[in-house]
Structure 1
Amino acid sequence: MSCTLLLLLLALSKSSLLKSEPDVKSPVIFALEKATLFMESQYQDINLDAVLGFHILQGYLKGILEKSSSAHESLAQHAQIESLLRKLSSLIERATHFLAQNDPKYFKEFEPILGPHFWVFPQSWNQTDSLLSYTAFGSTKCLTEEMSDSCLTYLLGTWKESGKSCIVTSTCRNIMTKPGCSDYSLSHQLFYFMFADMKGCSDPVFLRAQYYKNIFCASMMKINLAIESNGFKFSSRDLFMENIIFCGMSGFSDFYKLRWLKAILTWQKPKEGCFGKPGKDFKQTSAGTDQKHLLRRIKRREMLFADGCSAHNTAVAVGALGGFLYYYC
């Protein structure tokens, strides 16, 4: 047997295995249906970050329907995804209306990322190289949330009325390429380069975009593996899922580990359909500490609901789960 034929058979075997595995897709679709029910009950109150998570999910669902065929997708699952997409699209439209009223300044600054064609999803896949990860991490606060928002609005062109887009200030260039950053600072550095890709920005710093993505996601993989080895502490779950969203969208398939998918599915609150503070079976002392830690990390516009649901937690969860579904479909 020729080497070429062998490689082709292996590729077809892997493709067939991934696309025919019912235990991967069905639980994810079910979890996303429950999360959409949560959005239906809270769409008037959730923040922009939460709407963005569901908006990314919407994009993944559209992508799945575009690439799926009856040979690879069961008719029942196809119908489920179509139904979920219709419901989600209606809810996003309504939620966006309330966002514009509830937080008009922030909404105006980031309205472009809720556009129908802003996000582009991977058509080919790569894997991280552990040799490219940082050997040691420096500050977890390389950049503030305000700095990140400011740099992103310069790319979007929303930094002022009728502002020019794709502007890269020296401050933004320095903080977004600073080595050794960790946690949310690191994920926001990657987010910056993702925004530049979506906008088609041509500043010289973006000529090395893939170089930075390779380093950032190798380092984010290192962080996620450490979170896993530490037992997925509640305070780390939000970051863990955010890393999966951003690096998955950047084309790194090794973030879609089945054992990570199984862990994420267990974090969903079965009654509410959301993600957030663990239930009564979670140790109280740990929960209290973790909740305070989480509040220091998440977006300043985060909303925690009385039932323990977190808008940001739910947003990153549905974004990550959408990526898993997209990859395995």
Structure 2
Amino acid sequence: MLYMLFLLLVFTCKGSFLKTEPDVRSSIISALEKVTIFMENRYQDINLDAVLGFHVLQGYLKGALEKWPSKQELLAQHARVESMVKKLSSLLEKATHFLAQNDPTYFKEFAPILGPHFWIFPHSWNQTDTLMAYTSFGSTECFTEKMSDACFTYLLGTWKENGESCTVTSACRNTMTKPACSNYCLSHQLLYFIFADVKGCSDHVFLRTQHYKNIFCASMMKINLEIENNGFNVSSRDLFMENIMLCGMSGFSDFYKLRWLEKILTWQMPEEGCFGEPSQELEHSSGVEDEKKLLRRVKRREKMFADGCSSHHTAVAAGSLGGFLRYHCC
């Protein structure tokens, strides 16, 4: 009897997988094709955040193609992804050219993260541990974005001409390991350790990189679940997607929940292909003032377009959707 029940469960799960996974992939690919069209129309105007998000997307698409299932019925999807990769390669080259002209100082500081081989994507998956999450959060402004940017440039070696990379100041060490930070400060702490990973930095603080990633992403999962419980307020969607993008890049697969994917797909503007805040939604949002403060505080170079498209929203959406595709394709 138990054996028959086991077989029933196996075939039920297998049938469900064959039925849903191609649909999941198709939905993600369609959304990403629209995002790519937005990139095609706005590559001269988008900011560094958006270019970064599309670099992350491109990396995920390439990784997906390498492990794409060889089933006949999935060849059409494979071709669509391959087409996007080719188009993005050209668009990113053009966008980088305009970015260097439009914001040369900022571009110089962060040029290394826009390289074709900078990003490393997970080869194995972990799950967050709720016990490692902060029991409570402190100030949402643990540190300024100016401080965060400075610490990033010390790791990248762009803090001065011919600067040494992987430089860790005591201020940065204290800031980037400060406990109970939340929101964008928390995601910037995680990004700091991601950069250190990619650069191969060997300061003693990085001997505990995985430990910090475990704490940060467990806490970011806690934040995302709170955002979900609060009904995905407009002002929290950008942070929600950024947490998925960064913790997905850190190898935490429980951020790739199908119910979250379905929700993110509803936030895409169907005509523009971007993510942001349509004017009518802004007018009726109780969080408008909070969002304005948020933009001033953590996204100094945010680029909002007249149609409501946001460079930062679109960047983190592209990066998170690329992660969803990479996770569900293979």
Q: Normalised by the size of structure 1, how large is the TM-score? A: 0.93
Letter in 1 for 2:136: A
2:95 aligned partner: 95
Tell me if structure 1 keeps the 8 A contact 2:234–2:285: no
1:172 aligned partner: 172
Question: How far apart are residue 287 of structure 1 and its match?
Answer: 6.0
Q: 1:205 to 1:271 in 2, by over 3 A?
A: same
> SS where residue 74 of structure 1 aligns?
helix
1:3 aligned partner: none
Aligned runs of 1:100-119 on 2, under 5 Å? 100-119=100-119
Question: How far apart are residue 296 of structure 1 and its match?
Answer: 3.3
Q: How many residues are treated as equivalent by the alignment?
A: 320
1:182 aligned partner: 182
Unaligned runs of 5+ in 1: 1-5
Question: How far apart are residue 17 of structure 1 and its match?
Answer: 2.5
Tell me if structure 2 keeps the 8 A contact 1:184–1:297: no
Q: Percent identity?
A: 73
> SS where residue 286 of structure 1 aligns?
coil
1:201 aligned partner: 201
- Cα distance in 2 for partners of 1:298, 1:91 equals 27
Deviations 1:38-86 (A, max 9, x none): 1111100100011000010000001011122413870000000000111
2:292 aligned partner: 292
Letter in 2 for 1:96: T
- Cα distance in 2 for partners of 1:148, 1:208 equals 20
Tell me if structure 2 keeps the 8 A contact 1:61–1:326: yes
Question: How far apart are residue 143 of structure 1 and its match?
Answer: 1.2
1:236 aligns with 2:236: yes
> SS where residue 316 of structure 2 aligns?
helix
2:141 aligned partner: 141
2:280 aligned partner: 280
Tell me if structure 2 keeps the 8 A contact 1:19–1:73: no
Tell me if structure 2 keeps the 8 A contact 1:276–1:309: yes
Tell me if structure 2 keeps the 8 A contact 1:58–1:85: yes
- Cα distance in 1 for partners of 2:204, 2:19 equals 40
> SS where residue 64 of structure 2 aligns?
helix
Letter in 1 for 2:101: Q
1:191 aligns with 2:191: yes
Letter in 2 for 1:323: G
Q: 1:299 to 1:282 in 2, by over 3 A?
A: closer
Aligned runs of 1:1-329 on 2, under 5 Å? 17=17, 21-71=21-71, 74-278=74-278, 280=280, 284-286=284-286, 288-289=288-289, 291-329=291-329
> SS where residue 51 of structure 1 aligns?
helix
Tell me if structure 2 keeps the 8 A contact 1:278–1:287: no
- Cα distance in 2 for partners of 1:110, 1:282 equals 31
Q: Normalised by the size of structure 2, how large is the TM-score? A: 0.92
